Structure 1
Amino acid sequence: MLKPTRTTLALATGSLVLGLVGAGAAVADDGPADNRPPQEIVVGGAQPGVYPGERATGRVVSKGPLTVRSRPSTRAQSLGHVYPNSRVEISCKKHGEKVDGNSLWYRLAERNSDWDQDAMPKVAYDKERWVSARYVKNLSEVKYCR
């Protein structure tokens, strides 16, 4: 039985496309070109280059200056600001007052160069500094405060 020309052309085209896709996949899988061993990717657990005791980092994602507080609450004393897109060092996280549905707060590490210390009173050096996690994207794993 003779098949219509359209069916024959469609089957031939489909076979050609599948054959080329298969050949393309075989060519693309030649392996590493520079003879280096493949890089290991770790999902979960410890991150490469991050050692116990190191500070976590985060990036401020607020639209305007983010207020640094003395406690994890919006009613706590303001100690200064961190600005959008600045990078901050985070020592740990803790639950506090909810901000836009997020109850986590990050305690800033002792040394952060990206926050406005001019607006901060001198006595604030002895205080903990907190920012709402709602407006900070953590770039590495943050542990809970003890």
Structure 2
Amino acid sequence: MLKPTRTILALATGSLVLGLVGAGAAVADDGDNVPPREIVVGDGQPGTYPDYKHAIGKVVSKGPLKVRSKPTTKSRSVGHVYPHRKLEIECKKYGEKVDGNRIWYRLYDENNENNNENLDNGMDAAPNRAAYEKERWVSARYVKNLSEVKYCR
């Protein structure tokens, strides 16, 4: 009589653990009910990336990684990146903790660099402000840096 009870308890415990692991994945993608667009680096084809000017990282999340407008999970989602994709990382900064990791990576955006060059050339500062509002951040918890990442200024 004891053996079936132990078996049932072991199966119930295993199911509970597997259910909680699945719930953890669901929490990582909190869903904004807005279909996010994929952030594509290079030409979008895995394994065919151009020479990078900045640090490189690889997405190691199990599902699509949300790209945020600020280094916090409460900020607006501006897209997502699929697992195993490479990212061009401009710099890193401390932000909200994600699974014990406070570092966030700002993704390189060619448009932001062009706006900064315009500012250096004496053009209006308004484009630079617009570029700041379009920053793209990902939690370093789900990105493995493949080269050294400098801190943001």
TM range (shorter): 0.5 to 0.7
TM superposition shift of 1:124: 8.5
Q: 1:71 to 1:126 in 2, by over 3 A?
A: closer
CA distance in 2, matches of 1:125, 1:83: 24
Count residues with an aligned counterpart: 83
Report runs of 4+ in structure 1 exceeding 4 Å deviation: 123-126
RMSD of aligned alpha carbons = 2.1
CA distance in 1, matches of 2:144, 2:135: 20
Contact kept, 8 Å, 1:79 with 1:124, in 2: the verdict is no
CA distance in 2, matches of 1:60, 1:93: 15
- Percent sequence identity over aligned pairs: 70
CA offsets 1:81-103 (integer angstroms, 9 cap, x no match): 00000000000000000000000
In the alignment, what sits opposite 1:55? 54
CA distance in 1, matches of 2:132, 2:91: 18
| TM-score, scaled to structure 1 | 0.54
TM superposition shift of 1:54: 3.0
Which has the greater radius of gyration?
Answer: 1
CA distance in 2, matches of 1:130, 1:87: 14
- 3-state secondary structure, aligned to 2:141: helix
Partner letter of residue 127 of structure 1? K
TM superposition shift of 1:71: 0.2
CA distance in 1, matches of 2:71, 2:98: 10
TM superposition shift of 1:110: 0.4
